[in-house]
Structure 1
């Protein structure tokens, strides 16, 4: 039996360039990991593949990304997976943190290793891109710039390790809906969408416009964070609904989170920690 962590991700930048002929959107996004916020996969040898999850709201059938990853590996390798996978969820779903994509990528890599590394990592990345645009990112180390529909990967200079606070309301955001609304969406008055520039890069997300238009609370959270003296920058990750703040000092995280719950939404989920990066 082995246990492997599947870390969450943040999009430090996400630019939408155009709608593609295949229905996807052309992207340019820079993604990094949150190594301390992770789901845990427990893999054991078994006569046939079995999948279970600690969260009863996560589907356990063929629609689950972990199951899809294993089936894709079986099809590509010509082998049946002889293992059981139990997924312990810690990363919220519908959050823009890539939890399901990370689970799938981790399962794909571990099942391949468990069966003698039948496929090279380049083939795993290719397979991953067939059932999820974010999934290939999790098969590469460090910061990655993703283009195309997200499946074209290029290693990028890693920003320094950043102290961040995550805030997420009880609701999630459906990624397809966010992209569908992008073209015709309008900015909300008084909300800052421009890139926030730092020595290590910039914070910007073109999906904020359509998501904020539908979910005004998220716009309110961003503006509230940007007005806090403890916050250097704030942005929505991916298609939401998680908002994150880059802090001047991680020790301020609890104060900011507590006051956000008092002033904005008592049901806000929060997490604080360091991003992956150069120390």
Structure 2
């Protein structure tokens, strides 16, 4: 086998609790994440040498700062293979969105290279390698909902009680994860905004990063509040560090109507995606 095409699903955080800031600058967290049906597409082909990477989104960096390139380099360094690879990425998941798109792309790259070059690295070995690339990469390697601890790299697999219908909404701006975490400790709640856990069908939805992010990006607080007032929505939360806010939809919800209202009442340019947990 010389070439493969794979999907790299995005994720949402159903809960995200920050426990403390660590001495190494990272934060100790506990988060429940679930992969969703929104996915990037990656074509990977073996070649004699070099790592050639391209992407259909011109805003995505294509050098060493790209997690896919870093994943490929880490794989070849780990396995000592003297080969190369051509990688073409088709982006569907927006970046700077709190949906883990770059980390998922890196995980899919590691998993695919392991198959193409028949290196037989275990899932645990790949996850350890992935943790050196990004905090969420290990999670994506297991292709399952999971509770993640440490800085996100300690993964315990779990199952959601039921499949969730999700509506993602993202304004044009992005939020830096590093910035959001750096502002967590001194941030204050915005008056009139609910940060309390929401319970729906036995699942608790809460995100400790809403406090610092909403303090600066008030539109995201308004978006969450607006969603919670919609009859079709059972819960609403910012995913990760934003800027995506998601709604958990009731059965038989009219998702097109919710999108139409959001564009009419909030932001006519807002990006949306109806999807589900997988």
TM-score normalised per structure 2: 0.96
Q: C-alpha displacement at 1:75, in angstroms?
A: 1.2
Per the alignment, residue 64 of structure 1 pairs with 66
Cα pair 1:51 1:85 within 8 Å, conserved: yes
Taking the aligned partners of 2:196 and 2:170, their CA distance within structure 1 comes to 22
Spell out the pairing of 1:84-233 with structure 2 (5 A cutoff). Answer: 84-233=86-235
Q: C-alpha displacement at 1:78, in angstroms?
A: 0.9
Q: C-alpha displacement at 1:251, in angstroms?
A: 4.3
Q: C-alpha displacement at 1:250, in angstroms?
A: 5.3
How many aligned residue pairs are there? 275
Cα pair 1:250 1:272 within 8 Å, conserved: no
SS at match of 2:87: strand
- How has the CA–CA distance of structure 1 residues 121 and 80 changed in structure 2, closer, same or farther, with 3 Å as cutoff? farther
SS at match of 1:12: strand
Which deviations, in whole Å up to 9, do the C-alpha atoms of 1:158-210 show, x marking residues without a partner? Answer: 23111111100000000000000000000001101000012332110000000
Cα pair 2:16 2:208 within 8 Å, conserved: yes
5+ residue gaps in structure 2? none
Cα pair 2:79 2:119 within 8 Å, conserved: no
Taking the aligned partners of 2:252 and 2:44, their CA distance within structure 1 comes to 34
Taking the aligned partners of 1:141 and 1:118, their CA distance within structure 2 comes to 17
Which deviations, in whole Å up to 9, do the C-alpha atoms of 1:16-36 show, x marking residues without a partner? Answer: 00000111000000000112x
Taking the aligned partners of 2:83 and 2:134, their CA distance within structure 1 comes to 20
5+ residue gaps in structure 1? none
Q: Which runs of 4+ in 1 moved over 6 A?
A: none
Cα pair 1:77 1:118 within 8 Å, conserved: no
CA RMSD between the two structures: 1.1
